Structure 1
Amino acid sequence: MKIIEALIKIKKSYQKKARMPKKLKFKEEFIMIINHNMNAMNASRQMEANNVAAGKSIEKLSSGLRINKAGDDAAGLAISEKMRGQIRGLQQAS
């Protein structure tokens, strides 16, 4: 209630300073309502997780590789890169 009274005082002082026309009035009832649609928020979060998973799967399918980046398998990527280096070295030597 104190907040509403303070806002009404601010409105009145603003009207005096700005000399606003009487027909322009602020609404004197201020009601704060916070609604959360939890079902919609959960559905949105699940949809985002599914989109991320689908993106990763499509990336793997399109590249044809088991490991695309270090996040997939860091140790496997290190071994793979070492083997690729050795293969390139052997190809250049022959």
Structure 2
Amino acid sequence: MAEGQVLVLDGRGHLLGRLAAIVAKQVLLGRKVVVVRCEGINISGNFYRNKLKYLAFLCKRMNTNPSRGPYHFRAPSRIFWRTVQGMLPLKIK
């Protein structure tokens, strides 16, 4: 891949974790990756269980000052971005 080129992936129909793992690997290799149509990404498993896990995740906050607590993104692109970020080390050389 030449310098300056961007890898564009279509997220429609792919599983969240598997696509995030592929993107994280490409980012670790130093490539720029853009994922389009993140609203079409699938999450495997039981819908009710995934909904309960997501609602429990939304309840996590700082008790003394909730505005300082963890920020919960609701847009599909930001949920995918957070998943990829969790697969990357804190500092990339």
**Which range, TM-score by smaller chain?**
under 0.3
Larger radius of gyration between Structure 1 and Structure 2: 1
With normalisation by structure 2, the TM-score equals: 0.21
Which has the larger helix fraction? 1
Q: Which has the higher contact order (CA 8 A, sep 6+)?
A: 2
